Chain A
Amino acid sequence: MIQLINASKIYQPDIKALDHANLNIKAGEFVSIVGQSGSGKSTMIKTMIGEERLDSGQVIIGDWNITKIRKSEIPILRRQIGVIFQDFKLLPKKTLKENVSFALQVCGQTPQKIRAIVPQVLKIVGLEGKIERYPNEVSGGEQQRAAIARALVHRPKILLADEPTGNLDSINADEIIELLLKINKFGTTVVLVTHNREIVNRLKRRVLTVENGRVVSDQQVGKYIL
């Protein structure tokens, strides 16, 4: 589903973010990518969504080699990959419902489809009672749920979660992880980038450890080993 083959990325002047990194994530997997700050985890995510281009090597998403993806093709790729971040990236002047609808509106979906899809995804993430609230009126966990709902509206095959619990307390963090597991159960491939040792150890899922831009460990039922 997701492949990095000999992927290298150097930020000027000579910071090796990725150094001949290799990984292969199969469809339907739940994979945690762990590593210290600056190890190259986020760069991996960026190359997977076409935000960064590799200096050498290849990135393959499904059957699509996106190594030299054209700018005009990036939106098509991003509709197939949901992404969530530590800082939620919600629009503060829009309600949670509007934030989720916005993702469909800007991609040209009809109002009928938007009316049908948005309540469904908000229900999946457990926000059905708070859809008219603004981001500053709900907790961090609920904001991240809204961000997940937004990432799910295009029914992506892959969900990339870059430190999704970084800004949350342990209870909210656990709830978000539960939600990601639930989404994975529906068949979506989930890639979780995290620092959180407890979460990784409790998940008992595949763990890729990244160090100096390389995947140094790949455990099928892994633990946070750094």
Chain B
Amino acid sequence: MFLLSFFRAIKFSFQDIFRNFWLSLVTVLILVLSLFIVNLLLAVQVITNSAISSIKDKIDITLYVKNGTPESDVIGLKNQVSGLERVKDVIYVSQIEALNLFRQKNTTNPEVLQSLRELDNNPLTAALVVKPRDVAQYDDLVIDLDRLNSPIVDSKNSDNPKVMLDKINKIAIKVNEVGMIISIIFIIITLLVVYNSVRVNIYTHNREIKVMRLVGASNWFIRAPFIISGLMYTILGLGITMIIFYPFLSLLQPYLETFFSGYTLNIIQYFSKHLLLFSGLEFAGFGMINVLASLVAVQKYSKV
């Protein structure tokens, strides 16, 4: 009997939605807008995190070795540097590798390649690329390397990227804050719109509710269709948002690829991978908001 009543409540809920079609449409549209903004905020978070990761990945200190240093000495220095606590990894780039890398980087620059060919010998030096374990301790690592005071080190390239990282972090925090405020505003709007939709639905069904009460329908059965309507709005809103959001991400992807050249960031893949988690959480969150709004409206306006 419970299942039968449950299915009837769902049927009545569908009737409510279609009988007040325009009202339902507006409710769903507001929900779509809110969900879209929440997803956009998520995407921004993913993008900023990726930007920070990609920059962190590129942070290193390059120790240029004096020309003519025997390779065994360079390997010795590499082992010494690897032993430092703040070092994550050390990559040895030989003179030949450095030349190859340089050529690769300048394939589109024929003048540079030509001038390289005109030189008799390899002008580049071997180098040790040192990756820090923690970017925050970058300055300390530079001091550690200086303390080694190795005679084979010619120069080092250690432009501190912390300033840029801090800037990106600040922008990310700001974007998240603004996004959060906008999301909260839209969640409140959603709450009010769903509440009012259910209220109007109750008014529209005033006569039906009275008859239900008269003939002995349970309080649960009278209220259930309106609460189910709240859930239906969530399902519809979420479905439409997903349908709109994926093409939007497809439009965004080429720009991201250009921006993060050399670093793989596939936002569509990221969202597809986490689709169940995100849609589940959004359904739970917005479902709760809508059921709450419906419950308050039903409690207030359908005296059973």
Contact = CB atoms under 8 A, between A and B. Distances in A.
A125 to B, nearest CB: 16
B217 A106 contact: yes
Contacts of B8: 105-106, 108
B250 to A, nearest CB: 45
Most buried by B among A75, A90, A102: A75
Contacts of A12: none
A102 B11 CA distance: 13
Nearest to B213: A78
B217 A107 contact: yes
B61 to A, nearest CB: 73
B151 interface: no
Interface in A147-169: 150-151, 153-154
Nearest to A150: B215
A79 B304 CA distance: 15
Contacts of B1: 108, 110
A170 B211 CA distance: 27
B4 A110 contact: yes
B5 A76 contact: no
Given A71-B304, A107-B216, A89 B221 contact: no
A77 B219 CA distance: 13
Nearest to B205: A91
B97 interface: no
A220 interface: no
B215 A103 contact: yes
B159 interface: no
Contacts, number: 57
A74 B220 CA distance: 12
B218 interface: yes
Contacts of B219: 71-72, 75
A129 B249 CA distance: 61
A74 B5 CA distance: 18
B212 A106 contact: yes
Contacts of A207: none
Interface in A100-143: 102-103, 105-108, 110
B221 A108 contact: yes
Contacts of B213: 74, 78
B220 to A, nearest CB: 9
Contact of B216 (A76, A90, A91): A76
A135 to B, nearest CB: 11
Give the bracket for the number of chain B residues in contact with chain A: 20 to 34
Most buried by A among B210, B214, B222, B304: B214
Nearest to B210: A89
A83 interface: yes
A103 B213 CA distance: 10
A19 B175 CA distance: 69
Most buried by B among A74, A83, A90, A151: A74
B167 interface: no
B232 to A, nearest CB: 19
B208 interface: yes
B273 interface: no
B214 A106 contact: no
A103 to B, nearest CB: 4
B147 interface: no
B211 A91 contact: yes
A106 B8 CA distance: 8
Nearest to B6: A108
B117 interface: no
Contacts of A91: 207-208, 211
Contacts of A106: 8, 212, 215, 217, 221-222
B141 to A, nearest CB: 70
Contact of A79 (B211, B216, B221, B222): B216
A83 B222 CA distance: 19
A116 B215 CA distance: 18
B216 A75 contact: yes
Interface in B175-233: 207-208, 210-219, 221-222
B211 A102 contact: yes
B207 A75 contact: no
Interface string A170-200: 0000000000000000000000000000000
5 contacts: A79-B215, A103-B211, A107-B217, A110-B4, A153-B215
Given A75-B218, A90-B211, A107-B218, 4 more contacts: A79-B216, A91-B211, A103-B211, A108-B8
Interface of B: 1-2, 4-5, 8, 207-208, 210-219, 221-222, 304
Query: Shortest 9 CB-CB distances between A and B: which pairs?
Result: A79-B216, A106-B217, A78-B216, A103-B215, A108-B5, A75-B216, A108-B1, A75-B218, A106-B212
Interface of A: 71-72, 74-79, 83, 89-91, 102-103, 105-108, 110, 150-151, 153-154
